[in-house]
Structure 1
């Protein structure tokens, strides 16, 4: 039978998994997806994702794809697959796509949101789902610093040592920051992201916001192209992959989405 390619949108709570990428002897999103989709297809298969998320990082719209010759209705790739998945991960929709579609390689942009609680007391109810800082923050200063991130740069100062990207040069398309009460959201859109890039940028923005450096220190930090001069990586708890953009010809609804309000 002829192989068909399907794209799925997936959401997950990263607390339950050791990141996206399949690894021996630990629970990962990819491992659980391949197990569930393979059971529905009736054969082993590989599920590819738009990007790898770290342990503790969440997704409201991760895009994945797989190939199969199994003849199933689209509902089987949603409700059927969900019946085999553990709590904490769910398929939102499924769509057949052309065989030249690849969730990673034809993506034109990725979108992330970091949700931060700025409060004297650490969170209880949403622990693990939002970041937390007890310090006072100068949000205007953070806004000013974030402007230096826009455009094409060598982001080596925000690149993890284990990053496998071929080039540290990426284009930041958008940075948007807003506040609702004690919750601050940071939206980042780029052509692609390096390993730990958003969490490392968060560390720098908060370092500036606490008054440790002026806003234009961000420009200096980018120019150094040196991870060792930048602040520590910030916690993964509040980071969400919220969408992946693709060329219009694929007809996928993949723009950023927030679930349940801010998240």
Structure 2
């Protein structure tokens, strides 16, 4: 038995998220079928993150056990011939049997794209969150500066999560602008359900003047989801990198 690690890029537009679901097309199922077509084995992929419907990935990490004799570094080439164009295996390698894509993870980096323009973009319609209202970028930057550190992020957690603690450490929260595209990158040791999307929605509310940038610490301390902003849509979110 061997353990193979995959680095995966995918466009989540046409998938109901990563995780296997009944009567729904998912990224996990699609890759597992490709592996079965290659090796004849029914495997179960373990991913670092269960991305939601419409969320994209530039560096999703997953691993699976196999009895195949295919060299670890050749799986990427072989699987890419079997996968649809919106899923690409960027790298593959054999790893130790105790490697676990989820439990070995020490942190993640996400990117969120906002298209701030009067009219939407045909090209970016499934790649970024279109906001037609002119945003106060400097206020958004100021608001973003309050997120790094170790905090209880209950105010930025969607319902339905069963985690034991809402305390997370954010190491980076950077907002940049290039013409009409606002890019937000955030790194940390872990993220709650919809946490990044709620943070982005809150930043957008700051940019619209609905929330004051200096109120972010109070919102964090309140532990009240109702104090934070909207949940930004899935299409602007990208899982960029997983740290081990």
Same fold (TM over 0.5): yes
Count of aligned pairs: 244
Q: Does residue 203 of the first structure (1) align with residue 201 of the second (2)? A: yes
Q: Hey, what does 2:136 align to over in structure 1?
A: 138
Aligned with residue 63 of structure 2, among 65, 80, 84: 65
Q: Displacement of 1:137 after TM fit?
A: 1.4
Whether the 8 Å contact between 1:40 and 1:76 is mirrored in structure 2 is no
8 Å CA contact retained: 2:55, 2:236:
yes
Matches within 5 A, 1:29-40: 29-40=27-38
Alignment counterpart, residue 178 of structure 1, candidates 170, 176, 179:
176
For 1:111, the equivalent position in structure 2 comes to 109
1:167 aligns with: 165
Post-superposition offset of 1:194: 1.0
Q: Distance in 2 between matches of 1:229 and 1:185?
A: 24
| Alignment CA distance shift 1:210-1:51 (3 Å) | same
Partner of 1:23: 21
Deviation (angstroms), 1:132: 1.1
- Post-superposition Cα deviations, 1:82-120, rounded to whole Å, max 9, x if no partner, equal 222223111111011111211111111101001111100
Match of 2:79 in 1: 81
Distance 2:226 2:176 in 1: 29
How far the C-alpha of 1:213 sits from its partner, in A, is 2.2
**Aligned with 1:47 (options 45, 48, 62):** 45
**Distance in 1 between residues matched to 2:17 and 2:162, nearest whole Å:** 16
> Which residue of 2 is the match for residue 249 of structure 1?
none
Gaps of 5+ in 1: 247-263
Alpha-carbon contact 2:146-2:216 (below 8 Å) kept: yes
Distance 1:165 1:190 in 2: 16
Q: 1:237 is paired with a residue of what secondary structure? A: helix
2:134 maps to 1:149 = no
Give the equivalent residue in structure 2 for 1:251: none
Query: Which residue of structure 1 lines up, in the alignment, with residue 121 of structure 2?
Result: 123
The 2-side partners of 1:38 and 1:188 are apart by 35
1:220 corresponds to 2:218: yes
Q: Does 1:56 align with 2:54?
A: yes
The question of whether the paired residues in 2 share the 8 Å contact of 1:131 and 1:238 is answered with yes
Tell me the distance in 2 between the aligned counterparts of 1:82 and 1:195: 30
Query: How far apart are the structure 2 equivalents of 1:196 and 1:213?
Result: 19
